[in-house]
Structure formats: structure tokens, C-alpha cells
Amino acid sequence: MNSELLENFQKDINNIREYIKHIDLINKIVKNNNDSIEPSLKTFINHLHSFGREKKLFEYKSIIISLYGVLENYITIWIKEHINNISNLILNYQDIPEKISKSHFDLSIKLISIISENKFAKYEYLSKEEVLIKLNSCIQKPLNYELNSDAFSPMSGNLKHDKISKAFKELDINLTFRLKQNNTFSKYLKDKFGQNIANKGDELFNTIDELVNRRNYIAHGTMIDDITSEFDNYIEFLTFYGKAIFETLIQKEIEYESIHLYQKIENIINIFKNSDTKIKSILAFELNNNRIRENDFIIIKLENGNFYKQKILQVQEDGVNISGVEVLNKINIGINLDVNFNLEKNSQIFYIKKREN
């Protein structure tokens, strides 16, 4: 996943924060200058007073619709990005998880039907032929296949958590479970709902559903009596929620790398905690018929199922720093890592498969 996609999400959320701040500043100007006799300022204040209720209602609608728009837009973008990345991580279509290959076929057929019926404007740039060509490539060219990423994006709005979870199920991801395993988001949920979030279900994500409901009231013209702002709550939750979803997709992609592009290190000798603040862990393991270098990456799978991709800062042989080594027989190697989580000996470690010159 391209980190810029997360940065854009956070930037769009921050722009909404700034808009709310802008509104608050205007209201303070009005409050502090009610008695002003300066003509232009007095005209401005009278103008705002003349449609106070309507102004608040318009601002409320704008913020709610904008927040929901960020949610729907980035869920769609991230899912499509993830699907497009799969062919670079799983090089043979025949190795794709059965759940995804079945979903790809079924959803592609559904997408063709939608294109034929011209139901959704967002698919106007697609043709049935293009969808069929990609679908056929999975059968005829399994080593050079393309997936229909549009087929996996939610077909319509109202993206409550349950609907988002169903979209992720097609990606072979149990979203609710993975979100509760996300380090930062799980801490946020525990602070909000108590420590026992493992036994809670989709009610943890009611804030997202409330945001969707409020957006629907606005979209359908339902009379809104209560415009008490819950913006801080929505923005905070959406920020954590979106980041956790993005990281879930990253974790899945790292998992694919570990399976299809990396190999498991079978003999981990020891893990040392380093007092040097720049290097937090030294991992000692047995290397056989492979090469290893500084600035290469390893993949770590923790007991909770989370995957992390870490850069190798230093390589050591017999306690001496070396830039890298290539071996045909078994030797013991130490690598220095900068990790911000507990690396235990029962963690699974993966190193990239030997590359040919």
C-alpha cells in the first residue's frame, strides 16, 4: 500500500478540522464585535445574525457529508489499491487464496451486469470487454494476470461498518477481528469501551454507523431537529478507524510477501534486547544457502497474527559487523533491527528468497 494514500486521508480529515476551526473563529469575531460601529463589520455581523439557524444547519450538513465522503472515498481507493497490488505479491494466479479467486469471478460477473445496465455513473469509464479481458487473463495467463479491482469496491453508499466488513470479507480479511488486533486502535477502543473488547462485536463501531445515519438523513431531506455537533467524536474515531483499516491492508500484503516471496527462518537462535537506543533488538539465526545484506528486509509474524516488515540495520558474523554475506552452507548470523514491539523467540521470521544474479 502506498503510504501517500494514508497521508491524503489524514490531510482530508485535517481540512475538515480546519473548516470547523474557521467557523469557530468567525463566530468569535461576531460575538466580540456585536457593538461595532465600523460599517463593513456591522454589515457582516447583521448578515450572519439574519440567518443564524440556517447557517448552522448548512455548516452541520456540510461537515457530516464531508466526513462521510472521506470514509467512502478512501475505503474504495484502498480496496482497489490492495487488489492491484496482489499480482505483484502473488505471482501466479493459481496461488491466490480460493476465497479471493471465487470473489473475483463472482464480483466481475456482477460488475459486467452493472455496466450493461448503466446503473452507476462511477463505472462509466469501464467497458464489459475490459472486465472480461482481465477475467480471462486469470485463466489463460496465470503468470501475467490482472484483477478487476473495481469489482471489489462497494457498489453503493451507506458504508456502515457491517457493509465495510462484508467488502473486506471478499478480500479474505476478517475486518472486525483485525481492527481489534491493531495496536493503536485497540488501545483507543479499550480507553473508550473498557479493556474487554475481545468479547465485543460491531457495537464497537457504532460511531461510524451514526455518522452514516446522519449523512442519510441529510441526503434524503429528513428534517433535522438536533444539530448538536458530535464532530470531535466523529473526527477522532474516523481518524483511528481509517488508519487501522489501512494498516490492516498493509498487514495482509506483508503476509502475502512472507508466503510467496519470502522463506521462513527455521532456526532462531536467540533474540537480544540492545540498550543502544538506535538499535532495539539483535536477532540471531541460522542462515543456509542464501544471502543477507544491510538495508534488506525481514518479515516478522507475532503470536497475535500481526505482520511487520523491518529493515536490517546491521549484519553481524561472529559479533563483527559486515555489510552482507552470501553462504551455501549453514552459518549463524546476527542482524540488528529497530522495532517498537516485543520481539520474542517464538515469533515467526521470514527472509526474502534467494535471488538469482
pLDDT, tens digit (0-9, with 9 covering 90-100), for 50-92: 777 788 888 889 999 999 999 999 999 999 999 999 999 999 9
Q: pLDDT tens-digit profile of 212-266?
A: 999 988 887 765 666 666 789 999 999 999 999 999 999 999 999 999 999 888 8
State mean pLDDT over 280-291. 79
Cell numbers of 302, please?
507475532
pLDDT, greater one: 189 or 44: 189
Residue spans of the domains in the chain: they are 3-260, 263-352
Q: C-alpha distances in angstroms, 349 versus 53, 255, 272, 286, 294?
A: 60, 11, 15, 11, 17
Q: pLDDT tens-digit profile of 105-136?
A: 999 999 999 888 877 777 888 899 999 999 99
State mean pLDDT over 286-294. 82
> How does the average pLDDT of the chain come out, rounded?
87
CB 280 within 8 A of CB 273: yes
Instruction: Specify the fold of 263-352.
Output: Elongation Factor Tu (Ef-tu); domain 3 (2.40.30)
pLDDT, greater one: 213 or 343: 213
Nearest to 246 by CA among 168, 342, 148, 153: 168
pLDDT at 54: 80
Global pTM value: 0.88
